[in-house]
Structure 1
Amino acid sequence: MSKEIESIFKSHLQPKKAYEGGKGIPSNGGQKIYKLSSNENPLGQSPLATEALIAAAKNVHIYPDQTDIRLRNALVKDFDGQLTEDQFICGNSGSEIIDMILRAFINEGDEVIFSNPCFLPYSVFSRWYGAKQVDIPLREPDYSLDVEGILASITDRTKIIFLTSPNNPTGTYIPRPVLDDFLSRIPKNIVVVLDEVYRHFADAEDYVSGLPYVQEGHSLIAINSFSKTYGLAGQRIGYCYTTLKIAQYIRQIHKPFLLPHTSTEAAIGALNDVEFIQKTVRTVLEGREFLAETFDRLGIKYWPTQANFFLVDPPLPELEFADFLMKHGVMVRPVSQFGAPGKVRITIGDQEANKALVAALEKLT
């Protein structure tokens, strides 16, 4: 007897709510719109990256490099030689790196641990591979990591634990003593994925990236992106670094000709633009201080942040609050989808954008 095509569909790929990225700037009757909804670089993109893009555009009829070795070598330089080129893996955005890691390690029925509120692709992408999703929520009210809860949830099927520092959408981070303790208690056959795409904006004394843990040989993969600090969100390029053993394993599924020529050249150019990186970080830190003072003055509840955005508890329902700001030319992002119901994430912009946000908030309060 003939069966319908649905009979061969994978059960874990049945239609469910998918990840929805940030929206583009809509036409708003000629009104200027400040997009503070997608955590993009407030200064645009690196001038050196632009120059590299223009030069690369002349050769888009030619296949790109077969491997990512040139970008990996540039990353070695950026990390001051503390890692080898074989410890880096590059892909089309940090999101693709997440997908690559899941493809490499997850079989149907394996378990993936994450902590909401967090970046939605941890759960959405793991579902694609039939993983059992284990959510150990961040502890309220400060959104700190529930170390004991995660440790207690580990089983023989646990393959990956997702951590984020600084975390999207809360802006919170994992202090070094907490991460030291956590990693010392994790079985060696579990991969800890540390998403650190906002690390350049973290200035807390006890903030730590994944670098020292990789150097010590922990089974840790640190994910990074060129979308935030470097201003290359539209080029969709990211990378991770890890131990040599893990990198060599994952590299087996790295496709040839994966990175577009333009993305590779732009990323290399951006890495070389130290002045732009410093200016970006300075702009974000100054804007962070300015907006925190404003929220305090206006009585708007927010969480201290180590990223280039704030999580706020708005004085109106989240969608109503977002609509109000949109009418005043400011786009922000409700983050119920990220596991923070009723909350809104606001990107730190340049001075003009930040002042436009404040003007709109003052009309509300």
Structure 2
Amino acid sequence: MSKTIESIFKPHLKPKEVYQGGKNPPTSNGKKIYKLSSNENPLGQSPKATEALLKAAKHIDVYPDQTDIRLREALVKDFDGQLNANQFICGNSGSEIIDMLLRAFVNEGDEVIYSNPCFLPYAVFSRWYGAKQVDVPLLNTTYDLDLEGILNAVTDKTKIIFLTSPNNPTGTYIPKSVLDDFFTRIPKDIVIVFDEVYRHFADAEDYISGLPYVTEGHNVVAVNSFSKTYGLAGQRIGYCYTTQTIANYVRQIHKPFLLPITSIEAAIGALNDTDFIAETVKTVQVGRKYLTAEFDKLGIKYWPTQGNFFIIDPPLPEFEFTDMLMEQGIMVRPVSQFGAPGKVRITIGTQEANEALVKALKK
């Protein structure tokens, strides 16, 4: 009996929705376009990262470091020695770290819990490994985590729970008291993937990163990226930190020569550029206050944010709204694909970009 190649395709990889990243600005014909659609660094990239990258570019004819140890040692310093080098794992972006964790822990038929609206790769990547995807949505009016809903959704097949703080695309965060309660009640055989790529921008008094939970020995893997605070989105580099036990296990599937030499050197340079990091955080936090006040004046519905972006409920249908802003030279992003139908995400830019946004909104 004749068979087709499709007969050996994995059933859970049948054509479905795929993740689509943000677009680059179109040809502007000399018109200024402000890209406020991809949550990139408003100041560009770290000068020290650029210097390190250009120096490394003279040696791209040779293989890079076999392991990520030099970058991990730089991260130990960045975390003030609270973790050791073997608790860090680096990869080509935070997204690849998420893929690596799913590959390490999830088999076909296992369950993965996430909470929409959220970063779409949680669902897309889980499907690659045949996982049953369990969506416990954020609470509708506030976009807060539904802690009870997640706990009630846990079964003996649950392998990974995704928590994100601050959350993309909503900008909301998980208060310390909620996380403390969560970790006293969650089973000990579940991995908590704690996505904190926007943590540098958070200034809420009760915001907390994954670090204390890792040092206390909880099964937490905290995912970070160099794309936001450090301005290295184009280099595709990220990392996670976790307990020694989990790190030792996951490292078994870490490929040798994984990171390009330019990415390694740029990341180390960026970690050392404390002035650039501080200026980036200040720019975002000042811009956040400015836009909050302007949105209030204009009567635009938005959600308080701890990230470098806002999610808003636009006064027009989302695509009509984004098209009209594009006509004014402002790129923003509709986020139906992230589980927030009708909503639009706006990245906080430089003061010039923020003022241009407000001018376009008024018009």
Task: Report if TM-score (shorter chain) is over 0.5.
Answer: yes
Residue of structure 1 equivalent to 2:64: 64
Q: Once the 2 structures are TM-superposed, how far is the Cα of residue 31 of structure 1 from its aligned partner?
A: 1.0
Secondary structure of the 1:194 match is: strand
Write the deviation string for residues 187-242 of structure 1: whole angstroms up to 9, x where unpaired. Answer: 11000000000000000000000000000000000000000000000000000000
Task: Letter of the 2:28 partner, please give it.
Answer: N
Equivalent residues in 2 for 1:53-202, closer than 5 Å: 53-202=53-202
Displacement, 1:292?
A: 0.4
Q: Which residue of 1 aligns with 2:345?
A: 345
1:67-126 deviation per Cα after TM superposition (whole angstroms, max 9, x unaligned): 000000000000000000000000000000000000000000000000000000000000
SS at match of 1:315: coil
> 5+ unaligned residues in a row in structure 2: which ranges?
none
Q: Kindly provide the CA deviation profile for residues 3-33 of structure 1, in whole angstroms up to 9, marking residues without a partner as x.
A: 0000000000001110000001111332111
SS at 1:357 equivalent: helix
Partner residue, 1:239: 239
Amino acid at match of 1:247: A
Letter in 1 for 2:116: N
Q: Give the Cα separation in 1 of the matches to 2:240 and 2:114.
A: 18
User: Matched residues in 1 for 2:283 and 2:22: separation?
Assistant: 22
* Aligned residue number for residue 208 of structure 2: 208
Dislocated runs of 4+, deviation >2 Å: none
Q: Please, what TM-score do these two structures have when normalized by structure 2? A: 1.00
Q: Name the SS for the 1:32 alignment partner.
A: coil
Distance 1:307 1:205 in 2: 14
Letter aligned with residue 327 of structure 1:
E
Deviation at 1:131, TM superposition (A): 0.2
Q: Which amino acid in the other structure matches residue 24 of structure 1? A: N
What is the rounded CA distance, in whole Å, between the counterparts of 2:264 and 2:52 in structure 1? Answer: 9
Q: Partners in 1 of 2:105 and 2:26 — Cα distance?
A: 40
Query: Residues 286-365 of structure 1: matches in 2 within 5 Å?
Result: 286-363=286-363
> Which residue is 2:266 aligned to?
266
Match of 2:194, SS state, is strand
Give per-residue Cα distances to partners, 1:116-152, cap 9 Å, x unaligned: 0000000000000000000000002001110110000
Superposed displacement of residue 2, structure 1: 2.1
SS at match of 2:362: helix
Alignment TM-score, normalising by the size of structure 1: 0.99
One-letter identity of the residue aligned with 2:247: A
What's the % identity of the aligned pairs? 77
Which residue in 1 is equivalent to 2:224?
224
Deviations 1:51-79 (A, max 9, x none): 00110000001100000000000000000
Distance in 2 between residues matched to 1:328 and 1:62, nearest whole Å = 46
Specify the code of the residue in structure 1 equivalent to 2:274.
Answer: V
Partners of 1:25 and 1:352 lie apart in 2 by 17
Other structure's SS at 2:160 match: strand
Q: Which amino acid in 1 is paired with 2:261?
A: H
Question: In structure 2, the residue corresponding to 1:145 is in which secondary structure?
Answer: coil
Query: What is the number of equivalent residue pairs in this alignment?
Result: 363
| Counterparts of 1:345 and 1:161, CA distance in 2 | 24
User: Matched residues in 2 for 1:294 and 1:16: separation?
Assistant: 39
Letter of the structure 1 residue corresponding to residue 161 of structure 2: I
